[in-house]
Amino acid sequence: MTQSMTTILEVKSVTKVFDGVRALDNFSCELKAGSITALIGPNGSGKTTLLNIITGFLQADSGHVFFRPPGGGEYKVDDLAPFEVARLGLSRTFQNTRLFRQMSVMENMLLGARDAGGEGLTSAILQPARMRSHEAIKREKAVALLEQVGLLAKGDGLARDLSQGQRKLLEIARTLMSEVQLLLLDEPTAGLFPETIEKIREIIRGTQKVGTTILFIEHDMAVVRQLSDRVIVLDGGGKVAEGTPDKILNHEIISRSGLTRGSFLRDSK
């Protein structure tokens, strides 16, 4: 697949202050369409804050975020509510998995689709044939995705009864129910068994293959090395470095900071 060099997301001089602490300090970055970018940095460096600002869950104190979907157009994301951002094709997961716990796995998936029409009040009352066929299409897609992540057998079970790894898988699969242009994952592999990490890596790769751009926060440098085309290093709310994984992960400053040391040892084995 040829990689287009158009920018899908531009973060421009974003600053966010919490109670006097600069969570993000004049931060800028660009994501190329179709790329996989890893966001690394120590705890409290502003990674999740950045994700929250991009998806509209937080308002930046200054600066802007522009989203330019491949289909054309430009949206100033920082003016939009989170649900409007989501409807543009930005889909995210959360550091602490957020599932609809007391709903079935299948229902979780169906809610992942951005289908405002079929979910309206008039559709509920009139229940037109169009709504039913929408539902059938959504269900089909959900079945395929659940099968891919190995959760099809759990479809009718409640989400709260899943294991930690299954929850992460479901949350990622749920984001793929939408026509996702930009996928944002907050620590997709944290606390998981290697086999599950492998599965998640496959899903991320597969998602990139269909043209989706991916930004993910990650602490496991092995995963960063294997997956990303580009790495952005955050520290104290500012960008410390940016480049290819090879360049960044071997960079003197980064290794000296101790950020990647633990995983380096594991990596070289």
Partner 1 sequence: MDYFLHLLIITAIYVILTLSLNLIVGYTGLPAFGHAAFFAVGAYTSSLLALRFGVSPWLGLLVGACLCALLGVVVGLPSLRLKGDYLALATFGSAIIVYSVALNWVTLTRGPMGLPGIPGFSIFGFQLSAKWAYLVLMMLFVLFTYSVIRRLVGSPFGRVLRGIREDEIAALAMGKDVNRYKILAFTLGAVFAGLAGSLYAHYITFIDPSTFDVMQSINILLMVVFGGMGSLGGSVVGASVLAIFPELLRFLGMPEAVAAPLRQMVYGLLLVTLMLKRPQGILGKYRWE
187 three-class SS: coil
Residues 163-192 that bind partner 1 (CB under 8 A): 174, 178
Min CB(250)–partner 1 separation in Å: 35
Residues 84-103 that bind partner 1 (CB under 8 A): 84, 86-87, 91-92, 94, 98-103
Residues 229-248 that bind partner 1 (CB under 8 A): none
Phi then psi for 208, rounded to 5 degrees? -65, -35
Residue 129 in the binding site for partner 1 (CB under 8 A): no
Min CB(186)–partner 1 separation in Å: 11
227 three-class SS: helix
CA 23 to chain centre: 20
Residue labelled with tokens 């054309």:
72
User: Among residues 92 and 225, whose Cβ is nearest to partner 1?
Assistant: 92
Min CB(119)–partner 1 separation in Å: 4
Phi then psi for 42, rounded to 5 degrees? -65, 170
Cα 22 to Cα 27, 101, 165, distances in angstroms: 11, 34, 33
Residue 64 in the binding site for partner 1 (CB under 8 A): no
Instruction: Give, rounded to a whole angstrom, the gap between the first and last alpha carbons of the chain.
Output: 32
Residue 24 in the binding site for partner 1 (CB under 8 A): no
Pick from 123, 166, 189, 213: which binds partner 1 (CB under 8 A)?
123
Nearest-angstrom CA–CA distance, 35 and 213: 5
Binding site for partner 1 (CB under 8 A): 55, 57, 81-84, 86-87, 91-92, 94, 98-103, 107, 110-116, 118-121, 123-125, 127, 131, 134-135, 174, 178
